[in-house]
Structure 1
Amino acid sequence: MTPLKTFRFVAIAEAVTWALLLTGMAFKYSDVTDLGVRVFGMVHGVVFIAFVLTTLLVAVDQRWSARRSVLTLLASIPPFVTIVADRSAEKAGVLATAWRLTATEPQRTLDRPVAWLLRNPVRGAVAGVVAVAALTGVALLVGPPAS
């Protein structure tokens, strides 16, 4: 998967889970059922964490500016704005069709772990799943947002 395809996939998934969560909220506040919020809230939380980690990975590999990185991370908060962030990044030409750090030597401190993840795709994928699971666990320990 390229940076463009990876980022787009997770950005779309984040927007879809927002739609599912909002649908679940509509059912909950219509006194139909709160099952949608419980299920889709969890799914959205997991995909939200995956979007944040993917954004960080792509931002380091593609050498995004701090401004673009922060704005893209913030795009995960309002519903559906990850789609806008994806289109904006593609239009600005900051989503390449190849991972930079698979072909070049790491120059900066953050490049080293990202290069390792990209050069060892199976281990990198496992590390990503473990990171998402660990951060989801922390979020569950902290508890759901106040409703």
Structure 2
Amino acid sequence: MTSLNTDPATGAGIAATPRSLYRTLALAEMVTWTLLILGMVLKYALKVGDGPVQVAGMVHGVVFVSYAVTAALVGVNQHWPPGRIAGAVATAVVPYATYPFDRWLERRGHLEGGWRRERTDDPRDSSWASGVLRALLAHPVALAAGLAVAVAAIVAVLLFLGPPSQWGR
């Protein structure tokens, strides 16, 4: 099976493995939680104004959405059931929960293997989601650009909607 991290024509490395991509975003999510918490301490305890929370909040929001998109992408690639994908996304809501979940996935082998660019005999490779994923993985640069646009669009919509506490108003 060819993986996204190896170009089938040249054998050159071209992208991260599902494990490394997921782990990078899980750790980034924890770092941005720290920045957001520090921003809140600066705002509320040290009374330095809204700036630190606005900056850290934006960074955290972008990383949160990126983590959620990555969890979905990796989850489809790894044939996770929908509940596991939802669980991965839910861990980003709780400060520092992405890393223990990452370790749990690792211990159970749920991050093993490369990108699934080719259909196998595994019946799960027959799903429409796996087919779409394989088509996207055939064009990794376009996939990365599309994911960046999707993250930007989601963040823009969330910024337009405002804080969740104001959604029902």
- TM-score, scaled relative to structure 2: 0.81
1:66 to partner: Cα distance: 2.6
Alignment of 1:38 onto 2:54:
yes
Aligned equivalents of 2:95, 2:61: Cα separation in 1: 13
Alignment of 1:91 onto 2:125:
no
Give the alignment partner of residue 56 of structure 1, picking from 72, 79, 82.
Answer: 72
Aligned equivalents of 1:110, 1:60: Cα separation in 2: 7
1:138 to partner: Cα distance: 0.2
Partner amino acid for 1:59? G
Residue identity over aligned pairs, in percent, reads 39
Larger radius of gyration: 2
Aligned length: 146
Partner of 1:121: 140
> CA contact under 8 A between 2:39 and 2:53: conserved in structure 1?
yes
Aligned equivalents of 2:165, 2:44: Cα separation in 1: 15
> CA contact under 8 A between 2:136 and 2:143: conserved in structure 1?
yes
Structure 1 residues not aligned, in runs of 5+? none
14-23 vs 112-121, which deviates more? 112-121
> CA contact under 8 A between 2:118 and 2:134: conserved in structure 1?
no
Partner of 2:87: 71
> CA contact under 8 A between 1:3 and 1:97: conserved in structure 2?
yes
Give the alignment partner of residue 138 of structure 1, picking from 157, 165, 169.
Answer: 157
1:117 to partner: Cα distance: 2.2
> CA contact under 8 A between 1:2 and 1:96: conserved in structure 2?
no
Partner amino acid for 1:37? V
RMSD: 1.5
1:72 to partner: Cα distance: 1.1
Partner of 2:126: 107
1:71 to partner: Cα distance: 1.5
3-state DSSP of counterpart to 1:110: helix
> CA contact under 8 A between 2:75 and 2:85: conserved in structure 1?
yes
1:113 to partner: Cα distance: 2.0
> CA contact under 8 A between 1:116 and 1:124: conserved in structure 2?
no
Aligned equivalents of 2:165, 2:41: Cα separation in 1: 17
> CA contact under 8 A between 1:2 and 1:98: conserved in structure 2?
yes
